[in-house]
Structure 1
Amino acid sequence: MRTCARWWGRGTLPLRSGILLLLIPPFLLALQLLVVGTRLPRAARAGAREQAGAVAFSVISIEPESNSRRGGTPSRRRPGPEEEEEVEVEDGERREGTRTYEDENEIHWRQVGSRTLEVQPWAADEPSFAAELSRIIAYITRPQLNCSRVLSPGQAQASQPPADSHHWLLCAEDWLLPAADRPCVAYSFSMDGRDADFLKTVAGLGCEVHCFDPSNSNTSDGHLGNSLVSNHGDGGVVSQHKMWLEWRVPRKRKHKTRGNLGSVSQTLADIMAALGHHTVQFLYADLLSAEWRVFQNWIESGTLQSVHHLVATVHLQWAGFEVGGTDEEVLRYWFSILQGLQASGLKLIHSSAGEGQGVLKRTAANAHSSYTLSWVNTRH
């Protein structure tokens, strides 16, 4: 006690020295954080900057939602392992097992001049199979453009529209037909042989005609396998090719040399490029339920701007290749595709119902399982 008394009796420490002692611990802590921070991983430093309000970059997920009722577009199958290849990624690294084909959302980001498919609102206040189906049937059975003169199946001479046609029609108005001094190109994609009348009609118009069927072994004019050779100047000649339509855009788009695409399945844009065609006046397509995804590719890539007349069969028995989701979502997706065709300039001029009344494996009294639809592009 005496020692303490003597210590305190001598007086207290100066006030300035006391403040200095209080500042030493925070200074040492700050110095330690500075030294350790320079050794932190890059990601940790980025996280620290984000917490401080300085965001270095942001990562946006473009993975499609899986089968969400509010998402709008049905879920779709991803390409399988057989469609993988080595792809160059960020920082010059290479990653094995990356998909060869892009997802739909990736296509929107990468394609130049592409159009994003606009998903339409529900037909009713909430998802309803009856409401969605009724909207689609009303749309595909009501022509949007009346033609005073038409070309009927197998006929190359224009005539007045028949009272009742169970097939397809081509609008033969003068402003819609190719001029006599201009080249005429026609494509047909069919594996059931039902395009014979179409081929006869467009060949009679003097068009350069190309028929695509991967199962066809009876090719002519030396057009074998997946080799594409144009028949410029040979009006009325039908060239056959063992090739089919692809709806996915390759991640690595290689330069396509004219006459050989290197694959039996290609997009319409690549086929046209290989044949040296900028415009297809007449196109016939019976794609056996692949039409919905092919149509989406045409809409988003802008290929429809180069097609003047389109005759296509739509199938309603099931959702179609790489289309999934609830029945209501599938119907809504189909209607969105039809609206996308209209937004691209196509107007319906004729509709013909097929056999059966099954829609998405349900029996529909007021609908058919398929419809052959005839459109004309009014923007030309």
Structure 2
Amino acid sequence: MRSCALRWGRGRLPLPVMLLLIPPFLLALQLLVVGPRLPRATGAGVEPEVAFSVISIEPDRNSRQRGSPSRGPGLKEEEKEDEEVEDGERRELARAYEDENEMHSRQMEPRTLEVQPWAADEPSFTAGLNRIITYITRPQLNCSRVLSPGQSQASPPPAESPPWMLCAEDWLLPAADRPCVAYSFSMDGSDADFLKTVTGLGCEVHCFDPSTTSASGGHRGNSLASNHGDGGVVRQHKMWMEWRAARKHKQKTRGKLGSVSQTLADIMASLGHRTVHFLYADLLSGEWRVFQNWIESGTVQRFHHLVAQVHLQWAGFEVGGTNEEVLHYWFSVLQGLQASGLKLVHSSAGEGHSVLKQTVANGHSSYILSWVNTRR
């Protein structure tokens, strides 16, 4: 003890002893500083809770238009903002994104086909038929200027009712300085006057016919290719319109489709078209399911004018049920088109008086209906 006291008194320790004392001193200092910040154990065998926060780089959902389509699987958000973009450029890009998103939402807003009430207290063939005939023979929009079959110059409605007509009010026609697009689906050459009208307007025209020959003339080809900038020339495609989405393993390469069927939305995507200004469709009793597909997918909001033939002599492809149920379904489809923005501007009756294989006095076997989209 006396020896130790003498050494402390001298104020110096041997070097080995100092080296041994430094690590315990540093450990004690670290515990004094960091110890209070360490998480406390909540109990034996329980791991301490970890708190964290997530910083989202996705644009504020509240700033988007309600009802805008969400991103589908396989589409990823940008992982980070480009730090070199100036604030003004960022705001401009954001506005462009929102404008395009709003336009796409307006054009492609899907809706469920709403089943309408029965025409009478109980299912009735007579009541259901009368309701449909009344609906498809009463135009909902009067046009002071029209485009008649085969004519590309607007004029007042002719005294004699034509098979179909296009409403030529200025606010319903594409701007003169912008290209227009026209589609025609027909296998019997009944679209000749329609093609003459839209080619006279200088539209980019596409004719779809799965048969080997066509009476429409123009360029032929099995592949989907646009003729943008070649207005007035009809490009033919050996294919037809489908109402069911193609299965993934049956899908062809975009732009190289042969004699196949696709939905209107897929055809437009393959051709690079967001809008079809004029659409002619004689789908040979497949129109009811196609109309339903347009309503439920929102495709109906992507064309401006529609001339379509509806067939009433039988239920149509993949439409079943009693006669009363079929009439009920047809009327629900027509109401769905109206709810999507289509207004009837003209109606023309075809030949025959057979409806669902029954002879009727107040109806015809087919009608050519002309609609205009008032929500474009």
Q: Deviations over 1:297-332 (max 9, x none)?
A: 111110011110000000000000000100000000
Question: Does 2:184 correspond to 1:188?
Answer: yes
Q: Which residue does 1:259 correspond to in 2?
A: 255
Q: Which residue does 2:287 correspond to in 1?
A: 291
Equivalent of residue 346 in structure 2, options 323, 345, 350 = 350
Look up the equivalent residue of 1:243 and give its one-letter code: M
Report if aligned partners of 1:217, 1:242 keep a CA contact under 8 Å in 2: no
Q: Which residue does 1:122 correspond to in 2?
A: 118
How far apart in 2 are the matches of 1:331 and 1:253? 36
Report if aligned partners of 2:148, 2:162 keep a CA contact under 8 Å in 1: no
Q: Deviations over 1:276-315 (max 9, x none)?
A: 0000000000011000011111111100111100000000
How far apart in 1 are the matches of 2:149 and 2:311? 21
Equivalent of residue 236 in structure 2, options 240, 255, 262 = 240
Q: Which residue does 2:136 correspond to in 1?
A: 140
Cα 1:221–1:364, aligned 2, differ >3 Å: closer, same or farther?
closer
Q: Deviations over 1:202-243 (max 9, x none)?
A: 000000000000004359776423x11110100101001111
Report if aligned partners of 2:146, 2:157 keep a CA contact under 8 Å in 1: yes
How far apart in 2 are the matches of 1:139 and 1:249? 30
Aligned 1:278-357 pairs, distance under 5 A: 278-357=274-353
Aligned 1:1-380 pairs, distance under 5 A: 114-217=110-213, 223-225=220-222, 227-252=223-248, 258-261=254-257, 264-380=260-376
Q: Which residue does 1:92 correspond to in 2?
A: none
Per the normalisation by structure 1, the TM-score is 0.68
Report if aligned partners of 2:111, 2:295 keep a CA contact under 8 Å in 1: yes
How much does 1:137 deviate?
0.3
Q: What's the C-alpha RMSD, in Å, of the aligned pairs?
A: 1.8
How far apart in 1 are the matches of 2:160 and 2:289? 31
Report if aligned partners of 1:186, 1:208 keep a CA contact under 8 Å in 2: yes
How far apart in 1 are the matches of 2:218 and 2:248? 32
Cα 1:253–1:278, aligned 2, differ >3 Å: closer, same or farther?
farther
How far apart in 2 are the matches of 1:235 and 1:289? 31
How far apart in 1 are the matches of 2:227 and 2:296? 29
Larger Rg belongs to: 2
How many residue pairs match? The answer is: 268
Identity of aligned residues (%): 81
Report if aligned partners of 1:256, 1:270 keep a CA contact under 8 Å in 2: no
Look up the equivalent residue of 2:231 and give its one-letter code: G
How far apart in 1 are the matches of 2:264 and 2:160? 32
- Secondary structure, aligned partner of 2:248: coil
Q: Deviations over 1:180-223 (max 9, x none)?
A: 11120000000111100000000000000000000043597764
Report if aligned partners of 1:190, 1:212 keep a CA contact under 8 Å in 2: yes
Look up the equivalent residue of 1:157 and give its one-letter code: Q
How much does 1:115 deviate?
1.6
How far apart in 2 are the matches of 1:133 and 1:158? 35
Cα 1:239–1:246, aligned 2, differ >3 Å: closer, same or farther?
same
Per the normalisation by structure 2, the TM-score is 0.68
Report if aligned partners of 1:299, 1:344 keep a CA contact under 8 Å in 2: yes
Q: Deviations over 1:125-176 (max 9, x none)?
A: 0000000000000000000000000000000000000123140000000011
Unmatched 5+ stretches in structure 1: 1-111
- Secondary structure, aligned partner of 2:305: strand
How far apart in 1 are the matches of 2:299 and 2:349? 27
Unmatched 5+ stretches in structure 2: 1-107
Q: Deviations over 1:233-289 (max 9, x none)?
A: 001010011110011113438887542246611100000000000000000000110
- Secondary structure, aligned partner of 2:138: coil
Look up the equivalent residue of 1:165 and give its one-letter code: S
Look up the equivalent residue of 1:322 and give its one-letter code: E
Report if aligned partners of 2:238, 2:258 keep a CA contact under 8 Å in 1: no
How far apart in 2 are the matches of 1:156 and 1:345? 25
How far apart in 1 are the matches of 2:250 and 2:109? 19
Look up the equivalent residue of 1:268 and give its one-letter code: L
How much does 1:113 deviate?
5.2
- Secondary structure, aligned partner of 2:221: coil
- Secondary structure, aligned partner of 1:157: coil
Look up the equivalent residue of 2:285 and give its one-letter code: S
How far apart in 1 are the matches of 2:255 and 2:203? 19
